[in-house]
Amino acid sequence: MHNLNLIDTFSEFKELKNIDRATMMSVIEDAFRSAMRKLFGTDENFDIIINPDKGDFEIWRNREVVADGTVENPHLQISLTDAKKIDGDYEIGEEVTEEVKFADFGRRAILNLRQALASMILELEKDNLYSKYRERVGQIITAEVYQVWRKEILLLDDEGNELILPKSEQIPADFFRKGDALRAVVLKVDMRNNTPVIILSRTSPVFLERLFELEVPEIFDGLITIKKIVRVPGERAKVAVESYDERIDPVGACVGMKGARIHGIVRELRNENIDVINFTQNTQLYIQRSLSPAKISSITLDTENLRADVFLKPDEVSLAIGKGGLNIKLASQLTGYNLDVYREIATQDVDDVNLDEFVDEIDEWIIDELKAVGCDSARNVLEYSVEELVSRTDLEEETIREVMRILRSEFE
């Protein structure tokens, strides 16, 4: 049949990434049967033999021999006279099998067949790609950077499939060039215009969890469990871990000898500061550990409203709050409690004045904002510069200068 120019198509099918041989054969046969139905009205009496290795095929049509002049459907029946032209031994009621030359049906039929095959294979590839990556959601993969754009990075996996890493899922310090190998977790698989779009992430807590599984065998083996992860990508993360084996120190196992295990994770996350803490059902102890490296003097819990007042020595307050308030923010997310930090009353100066005493001169919401960063008295506020308070709070510089003027006048 001279292969009808289909050999190139077959060779393309042999190289398909996500389709096994049996499925490929089934799809090709379906395409041929669809063509037969268009040409002859039915495909039930056709046998299709396909050899994708050589790029050729055979089509055999089976028709019943009937008496001359009684042929009702020439696609299903053949007259006795015509049957004897094929083989003189045929009799009425027997079945004639003859090869159909697809090339005889013209260029248009061949073109339609090629288009049908290409369309069916494309849809099958899309379905298989979607299913493959749906099963890999939450897993780490390594892909090659193919193109870097302002809002996203296009990557290719080992099979040449396209993956997307949006800017919102990149660590702020991430910088990649074309050809770089990149590790990320499969975040989700979307369907856009009937095409699967695989979205990756390097900012998801799941990415950090999978990195721990790779670096810490005890986590991979289930001897240590990660109870919860909270993070501000590229800045700081807190990881609560628990061991079911009393002989294993979960924090020590995660950090490794001289930090060997966690250093690899920190480098991957662009020097993200990672605090690993022991999980406990004791809420006060859990809050205390979550605010590490600050040392807590005492904690007052309001379990009904999930709030906690944390009291510290003056030099520990800034540690508890952390740079930009990150430490206390992550501790709140980790424990599920709204944390307010206060300096110990005993450490306040005798001539100090509680901020609540200034409600007539300073708006209450401003006082609450200052308390949230550990400034619960006048002298607490005055210990900081205007610039420091601007960076630690959401207050405007002009507001802070006015507050300081009011507070200084109290001691003049």
Structural domain total, the chain: 3
Nearest to 335 by CA among 290, 276, 297, 385: 290
The 10s digit of each residue's pLDDT in 111-154 is 777 777 778 778 888 888 898 999 999 999 999 999 999 999 99
Written as one string, the DSSP assignment of 44-93 is: TTEEEEEETTTTEEEEEEEEEEE-TT--S-TTTEEEHHHHHHH-TT--TT
pLDDT band at 2 (very low <50, low <70, confident <90, very high): very low
Residues 6+ apart with CB under 8 A from 339: 287, 291, 307, 308, 310, 328, 331, 332
Q: Beta strands 296-302 and 307-312: pairing type?
A: antiparallel
Domain end position, chosen among 132, 163, 187: 132
The reply to whether 102 falls in a domain is yes
Q: Report the CATH number at residue 38.
A: 3.30.1480.10
> What is the C-alpha separation between 71 and 247, in angstroms, rounded?
88
Q: Where are the alpha helices (DSSP H) in 93-164?
A: 107-134
Domain end position, chosen among 203, 229, 260: 203
What do you get for the CA distance between the two ends of the chain, in Å? 106
pLDDT band at 166 (very low <50, low <70, confident <90, very high): very high
Q: Where are the alpha helices (DSSP H) in 202-282?
A: 205-215, 217-220, 250-255, 260-268
User: Does the structure show a pLDDT above 80 at 1?
Assistant: no
Same domain, 112 and 66: yes
Residue 391 has a pLDDT of 81
Same domain, 59 and 122: yes
User: Does the structure show a pLDDT above 50 at 30?
Assistant: yes
Residue 76 has a pLDDT of 85
pLDDT band at 200 (very low <50, low <70, confident <90, very high): very high
Q: Which among 258-267, 337-346, 347-356 has the top mean pLDDT?
A: 258-267
Domain range spanning residue 62?
A: 2-132
DSSP class of 124: H
Same domain, 9 and 119: yes
Same domain, 31 and 98: yes
Same domain, 189 and 121: no
pLDDT band at 15 (very low <50, low <70, confident <90, very high): low
Same domain, 10 and 87: yes
Nearest to 383 by CA among 358, 346, 412, 349: 349
Same domain, 88 and 181: no
Domain end position, chosen among 203, 228, 249: 203
Say which range, 46-60, 210-224, 275-289, 332-346, has the weakest mean pLDDT.
46-60
Sign of the alpha-carbon torsion through 235, 155, 182, 123: positive
Same domain, 21 and 126: yes
Same domain, 76 and 151: no
Residue 409 has a pLDDT of 85
The 10s digit of each residue's pLDDT in 95-114 is 888 887 766 677 777 777 77
Residue 3 has a pLDDT of 45
* The two three-digit tokens of residue 307, written as one number: 């709030």
> What is the C-alpha separation between 399 and 386, in angstroms, rounded?
10
Cα 32-33-35 angle, rounded to 5 deg: 65
> What is the C-alpha separation between 375 and 383, in angstroms, rounded?
9
pLDDT band at 5 (very low <50, low <70, confident <90, very high): very low
The 10s digit of each residue's pLDDT in 221-267 is 999 999 999 999 999 999 999 998 888 999 999 999 989 999 999 99
Q: Quick check: 227 and 242 in contact, CB under 8 A?
A: yes
> What is the C-alpha separation between 52 and 389, in angstroms, rounded?
73
Residue 238 has a pLDDT of 96
Residues of the chain above pLDDT 90, percent: 41
Residues 6+ apart with CB under 8 A from 392: 321, 324, 325, 373, 384
Written as one string, the DSSP assignment of 147-175 is: EE-SSEEEEE-TT--EEEEEGGGS-TT--
pTM beyond 0.75: the answer is no
Q: Report the CATH number at residue 175.
A: 2.40.50.140
Same domain, 70 and 140: no
Cα 296-302-307 angle, rounded to 5 deg: 70
Same domain, 44 and 105: yes
Chain mean pLDDT for the chain: 85
Residue 9 has a pLDDT of 54
User: Does the structure show a pLDDT above 50 at 365?
Assistant: yes
Same domain, 118 and 33: yes
User: Does the structure show a pLDDT above 80 at 25?
Assistant: no
pLDDT band at 347 (very low <50, low <70, confident <90, very high): very low
User: Does the structure show a pLDDT above 70 at 52?
Assistant: no
